[in-house]
Amino acid sequence: MPGTTIVEDIELIIEDIGGGGGKLPPAGGDDGGDSDKRRGPQRPSSRRYATAIVIAIVSIVMFFMAMASAYIYLRAANSNRWVPLHLPWIIWVNTALLLLSSGAMEFARRRLARADVAQFRKLWAVATTLGVLFLTGQLLAWRQFVLAGFYVSSNQASSFFYIFTGLHGLHLFGGICALLYVSFRKFEKAKVSRAVAAEVASYYWHFMDGLWIFLLALLYLGK
């Protein structure tokens, strides 16, 4: 297709962004070497993992947005018969744990950027442990909720409480698996470098963090 100068310009830019031009992978690395590495598509470029996690996050956002919009819709439609929700206190402890976990992960990645693998491992383990504690705490919250007499079928508010915490927990469990992978994988043999794996896992982990805050805000404001 014959292109005008502007179109050619755009093509050059797009080529640079996308088509094999070789954008910097998230982990770094210089342009020339990287584009050489990308020549063999059989060797997976690290970029695909970062792209995939971003797209997966978009998909998960849509999933929870559908649920959140259902919540807002039913909350508004039933405003006069909505049974208020008393969030168990342990929820707030859990939230703090999850935030700390995200923080620990960022410190761990800074260590890794300075090639301090030993410190990275320690901080990464802290982040993972905090994640596991969060999940345990969520189970305790369910226990508190049950003891208070609220079951899945009690009312719409409690149905939403269980489905939000349950599905977030399920997604977070996947995150914990990813963190354990980064901890225990021998990266000498792996297709990705430790930095890339840690980065991709951290995208997801921080997203889980933000998603939890959003869901909690929804439950708290809607009670």
Partner 1 sequence: MVTYPSGGSAAPETPTPGFLARTIFNSGHKVIGLRYLWLALGSVLLGMFLSLLMRIHLVWPTAQIPFLSGFGGTPERYAAVTMLHGSLMVFLVLTTAPQAGFGNYFLPLEIGAREMAFPALNLFSFWATVASLAGMTAAFFVPPDAGLTLWTTSVALFCLAALLTALNFTVTTLDLRAKGMTLPRMPLTVWAWFINAILSILIFSILLAACVFLLSDRLLASQFFSPLTFLSQQPASLAQATLLSLWQRLFWFFAQAEVYVAMLPCFGIVSHLLSTFSRKPVWAERAAALALCAVGLCGFFVWGQHMFSSGLNPWSPLVFSLLASSLGLPACVLLLSWFGTLWNARIQLNTAMFFALGFVSLFLAGGVSGLSLARNDLAAVAVSDDFVTGHFHLVMGVAATFAILGALFFWFPKMFARRLNEALGKLHFWLTFAGVYCVFMPMHWLGLIAHARAARSGLAAVSVLGPSFGTPFDASPYTSLRTLVTAATILTIAAQALFVFNFVWTMWRGEKIKDPNPWRATTLEWTVSSPPAIDNFGATEPMVYRGAYEFSAQGGPEDFAAQNVAPAPPEPPLETRQAAKAGRGEN
The residue ranges that bind partner 1 (CB under 8 A) are: 1, 3, 7, 9-16, 18-20, 39, 41-42, 44-45, 47-48, 51-52, 55-56, 58-60, 62-64, 66-67, 70, 73-74, 77-78, 80-81, 152-153, 155-156, 159-160, 162-163, 167
Tokens of 12: 């050059």
Minimum distance of partner 1 from residue 42's CB (angstroms) = 6
Interhelix angle 47-77/194-221, rounded to 10 degrees, is: 10
The smaller minimum CB distance to partner 1, of residues 113 and 148, is found at: 148
Rg (CA), the chain: 22
CB of 75 to partner 1, least distance (A): 11
Tokens found for residue 158: 């409690």
For partner 1, the closer of residues 13 and 148 by Cβ is: 13
Residue closer to partner 1 (CB basis): 73 or 220? 73
- What does the chain come to in residues? 223
Contacts of 39 (CB under 8 A, 6+ apart): none
Q: What minimum distance in Å lies between the beta carbon of 172 and partner 1?
A: 16
Is residue 31 within a helix (H) or strand (E), and if so which, with residue range?
A: helix 31-37
C-beta of 16 vs 28, nearer to partner 1:
16
Place of tokens 């305790």: 140
Q: How far is the CB of 20 from partner 1 (least distance, A)?
A: 4
Nearer to partner 1, 51 or 136 (CB): 51
Residues in CB range of 44: below 8 A, 6 or more apart: 191, 192
Least Å from the CB of residue 128 to partner 1: 24
Residue 15 and residue 77: Cα distance in Å, rounded? Answer: 50
